[in-house]
């Protein structure tokens, strides 16, 4: 990518990368990782709890 006096690019599919080019030749890159949603974490926790209940019933 060629940088003009001020150029910005956003890449959503490439792990949320934001790049800014300035006239002085400096470059700022911020990479943001995906954060799981609370509902996903809740479902994961419920799944682990269900596995624990099943394992406990098989032992007892």
pLDDT of amino acid 60: 76
Cβ atoms of 33 and 41 within 8 Å: the answer is no
Within a domain: residue 13? yes
Looking at residue 35, what is its pLDDT? 73
Tell me which residue range forms the domain holding 15: 7-59
* Tokens linked to 23: 């006239």
Is residue 2 one of the residues assigned to a domain? no
Residue 42 located in a structural domain:
yes
Print pLDDT tens along the chain (60 aa).
554 455 556 565 556 666 666 666 666 666 666 776 788 889 999 999 999 999 999 987
Instruction: Compute CA distances 13 → 26, 32, 33, 59, whole Å.
Output: 24, 11, 11, 46
Distance CA(32)–CA(12), nearest Å, equals 10
1 domain-assigned: no
How many other CB atoms are found less than 10 A from the CB of residue 21?
Answer: 19
pLDDT of residue 39: 87
Answer yes or no: is 44 within a domain.
yes
Structurally, the chain folds into a number of domains equal to 1
The pLDDT, as a whole number, for residue 3 is 45
């Amino acid at each position: 990518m060629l940088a003009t006096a001020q150029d910005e690019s956003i890449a959503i599919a490439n792990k949320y990368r934001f790049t800014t080019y300035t006239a002085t030749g400096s470059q700022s890159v911020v990479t943001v990782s995906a954060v799981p949603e609370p509902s996903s974490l809740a479902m994961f926790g419920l799944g682990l709890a269900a596995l624990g209940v099943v394992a406990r019933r098989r032992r007892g």
